[in-house]
């Protein structure tokens, strides 16, 4: 078999110019036959876990890296024998790589249990191992079959792709099912993608080009002299029996960077209100018995989300973002409602698109799907982009309240505390009532104290008297 019959599938940029991803699980092993669009592995980026489909037919020749390895975008991760030599290559290929760590791990994939909890931080149990990348790579795949970003593909071909014509207005974009799935996972509208394939077909690199930032020219790095090591310096050490070190990577690493950036960029203000939600809890129980909500997730979070949407409708200026470059406030006429969720890989904040336009049953269905997808670890990068405001339900952990940090780029975040029976003055008498504490953090560049106070007071008023969902809607 010659090298010309081997295709190298490279780690693609699966969203927003990410530079690396960790290989979580291989679904194939050397000698397996693969087909165009077949998922061969699952990787974790700084955004989410994503399944990668192979863009051509053939036989797996080698897995370049074992599970748990963090690989740079553009690096070959799997070699596939294609064409006439694929069948003949299957046996010798398997023998050639049988003793590699990648093959050994691929023989017996071990399923990983996932038990995410809504809102908060999870514990990642995977570890990162790096292996030197191989220096020899086979010729790149043709542009029609490659999953690499357009910028990388152009560099491999030695020139940029010719500018294709835009698809006719009103017609359904042409794309294969794997490409449609990729576009859905990345949150890309195929109608806005310019096709480069034959007969106006949208290819994988077209979808990646729609989300990838423009490539910047490389500059030669300057090399500074390395200072001599101190003769008294000793390597860092710790007591492994008394301490455990967890590598910070993937979603957790991205979350840490985003939270630091948000905390020290947006001037945070947090306000609190304690409210009697007894009537809201009664309404939740009534809705559970309503046939219209059969099979839907009905809980206090549903009515809290609706209360926040009503408050935003009454105070639309709170739903905004800050444009640093233009020094402008951008008021959004739509609400993409984020729900903070904890997964074993860390905190993620998927959002419900156009939540302001949904009925209560529709909102219940969207919340249920969001939570289920997060628990399965299948939240797509597109589902976490474009949020405007967020809810974090710390009450599920028995916590009374907190001072939440804004999701980067958003104007406000509402923390919901635990709902508990507490003594409360009701109609002039002290009675046990269902009570909770709400905390609203907001960006003081966008939201002044009066506006923030009105929004929080409106949320509390709806939860105290849920009939306002009708009168204020």
Q: Catalytic amino acids?
A: 444
Where in 149-242 does DSSP place strands (E)?
174-175, 201-202
DSSP secondary structure code for residue 215 in this structure: P
d(CA 413, CA 265): 16
Q: If you count them, how many residues does the chain have? A: 473
**Half-sphere exposure (CA, 13 Å, Cβ side) for 332?**
24
Pairing mode, strands 174-175 and 201-202: parallel
DSSP secondary structure code for residue 117 in this structure: B
SS3 310: helix
Q: How many helical (H) and strand (E) elements, i.e. helices and strands, does the chain have?
A: 11, 21
Which residues contact residue 311 at a Cβ distance below 8 angstroms, ignoring those fewer than 6 apart? 318, 454, 455, 456, 458, 459, 462
- Residue 183 is inside which H or E element, if any? helix 177-186
Residue 18's region, left for phi above 0, alpha for psi from -120 to 50, else beta, is beta
């Amino acid at each position: 078999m010659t090298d010309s019959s081997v295709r190298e599938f490279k780690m693609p940029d699966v969203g927003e110019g990410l530079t690396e991803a960790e290989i979580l699980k291989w679904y194939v092993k050397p000698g397996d036959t693969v087909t165009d669009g077949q998922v061969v592995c699952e990787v974790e980026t700084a955004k989410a876990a994503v399944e990668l489909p192979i863009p051509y037919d053939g036989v797996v020749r080698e897995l370049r890296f074992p599970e748990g390895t963090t690989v740079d975008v553009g690096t070959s991760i799997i070699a596939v024998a294609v064409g006439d030599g694929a069948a003949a290559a299957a046996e010798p290929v398997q023998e050639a790589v049988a003793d590699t760590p990648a093959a050994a791990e691929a023989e017996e994939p071990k399923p990983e249990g996932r038990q995410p909890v809504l809102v908060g931080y999870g514990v990642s149990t995977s570890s990162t191992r790096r292996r030197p990348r191989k220096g020899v790579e086979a010729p790149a795949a043709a542009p029609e079959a490659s999953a690499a970003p357009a910028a990388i593909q152009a560099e491999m071909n030695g020139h940029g792709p010719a500018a294709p014509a835009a698809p006719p207005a009103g017609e359904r974009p042409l794309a294969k099912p794997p490409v449609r799935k990729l576009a859905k996972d990345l949150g890309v509208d195929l109608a806005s993608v310019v096709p480069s394939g034959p007969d106006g077909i949208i290819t994988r690199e077209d979808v990646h080009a729609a989300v990838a930032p423009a490539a910047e020219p490389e500059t030669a790095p300057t090399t500074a002299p390395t200072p001599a090591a101190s003769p008294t310096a000793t390597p860092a050490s710790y007591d492994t029996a008394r301490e455990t070190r967890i590598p910070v990577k993937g979603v957790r690493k991205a979350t840490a960077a985003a939270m630091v950036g948000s905390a020290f960029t947006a001037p945070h203000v947090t306000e609190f209100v304690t409210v009697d939600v007894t009537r809201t809890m009664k309404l939740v129980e009534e809705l559970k018995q309503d046939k219209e909500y059969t099979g839907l997730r009905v809980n206090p979070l549903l009515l809290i989300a609706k209360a926040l949407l009503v408050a935003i409708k009454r105070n639309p200026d709170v739903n905004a973002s800050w444009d640093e470059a233009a020094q402008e406030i951008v008021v959004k006429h739509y609400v993409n409602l984020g729900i903070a969720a904890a997964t074993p890989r860390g905190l993620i904040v998927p959002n419900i698109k156009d939540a302001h336009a949904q009925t209560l049953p529709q909102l219940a269905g969207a919340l249920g799907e969001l939570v289920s997808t997060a628990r399965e670890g299948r939240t797509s990068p597109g589902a976490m982009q474009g949020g405007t405001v967020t809810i974090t339900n710390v009450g599920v952990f028995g916590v009374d309240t907190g001072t939440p940090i804004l999701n980067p780029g958003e104007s406000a975040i509402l923390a919901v505390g635990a709902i508990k029976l507490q003594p409360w003055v009701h109609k002039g008498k002290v009675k046990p009532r269902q009570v909770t504490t709400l905390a609203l953090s907001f960006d003081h560049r966008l939201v002044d104290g009066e506006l923030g106070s009105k929004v929080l007071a409106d949320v509390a008023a709806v939860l105290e008297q849920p009939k306002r969902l009708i009168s204020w809607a």
